[in-house]
Chain A
Amino acid sequence: DIQMTQSPSSLSASAGDRVTITCRASQTISGYLNWYQQKPGKGPKLLIGAASSLQSGIPSRFSGSGSGTDYTLTISGLRPEDFATYYCQQSYNTPYTFGQGTKVE
């Protein structure tokens, strides 16, 4: 299985901050990297697919980048509604695996 390592596991930030979350795969995943947001009591929501493709309806302050084994989610100008847990997920090889999550608080 491909292991996904997210860092940090949690971070403290304030509204307006620029936040960066990284995700490293145990082998190359050729851009098959997705980012999800989960708020308490809710199901995950897709933010970015294929490493950098912003999904419809997702604010442009969210962006993704990376290639090979290393990927990044950036939130430029954190808003109160962005305080949540973020997960990366590789869809290169089954079983698709998730990172352990990053809680933004």
Chain B
Amino acid sequence: EVQLVQSGAEVKKPGESLQISCKGSGYSFDDYWVGWVRQMSGKGLELMGIIRPADSDTRYSPSFQGQVTISADKSISTVYLQWTSLRASDTAMYYCARGGQLIRSHFDPWGQGTLVTVAS
């Protein structure tokens, strides 16, 4: 079974750093793009960026370029989303999702989501 399992919920203060993770299993992890999607409370889906674990080729959405870092460790089939200085506006649910082997593909399956809360 193809599965993405995300790390647990986080509560942080503004200015703190954070890294959340997404571990893939049941497929050839290196070969498939993985995306990170933000969903703020009661709002829609926003793609933050995608990464191909085989060579860490990463494409950021302009709104998130420079705000977060997406990385991968293919030795442990894990993709990361990292902030160096969190803001209250980063409070959201974050999903990872598997893309295709080719870049133009849908996302399936999705991880269970990681809730990030940033509050003083």
- Contact residues of A with B, CB < 8 Å? 1, 32, 34, 36, 38, 43-46, 49-50, 55, 87, 89, 91-92, 94-101
Tell me if B61 and A50 are in contact (CB < 8 A): no
* Number of residues on chain B facing chain A (CB within 8 A): 26
A101 touches B44 (CB 8 A): yes
Measured between beta carbons, the chain A residues less than 8 angstroms from B59 are 94-95
Give the residue of B44, B106, B109 whose beta carbon is less than 8 angstroms from that of A91.
B106
B residues 97-113 in Cβ contact with A at 8 Å: 97, 99, 103-113
A91 touches B45 (CB 8 A): no
Does the CB pair B105–A98 fall under 8 Å? no
Main secondary structure of the interface of A (DSSP, over half): loop
Q: Is B66 an interface residue (CB 8 A)?
A: no
Alpha-carbon separation in the docked complex, A21 to B10 (Å): 35
A98 touches B112 (CB 8 A): no
Q: Please give me the residue from chain A that is nearest to B111 by CB atom.
A: A43
Number of A-B residue pairs, CB cutoff 8 Å, is 63
Quick one: given A94-B50, A98-B46, are A44 and B110 in contact (CB under 8 Å)?
A: yes
Cross-chain contact B95 with A95 (CB below 8 angstroms) = no
Bound-state CA distance A66–B4 (Å) is 31
Q: Are the CB atoms of A91 and B110 closer together than 8 Å?
A: no
Whether A95 pairs with B62 at a CB distance below 8 angstroms is yes
Contacts of B62 in A (CB 8 A): 1, 95
In the complex, which of the residues A45, A49, A98 contacts B45, with contact meaning CB atoms closer than 8 Å? A98
Q: Are A87 and B50 in contact (CB under 8 A)?
A: no
CB distance from B23 to the nearest CB of A (A): 15
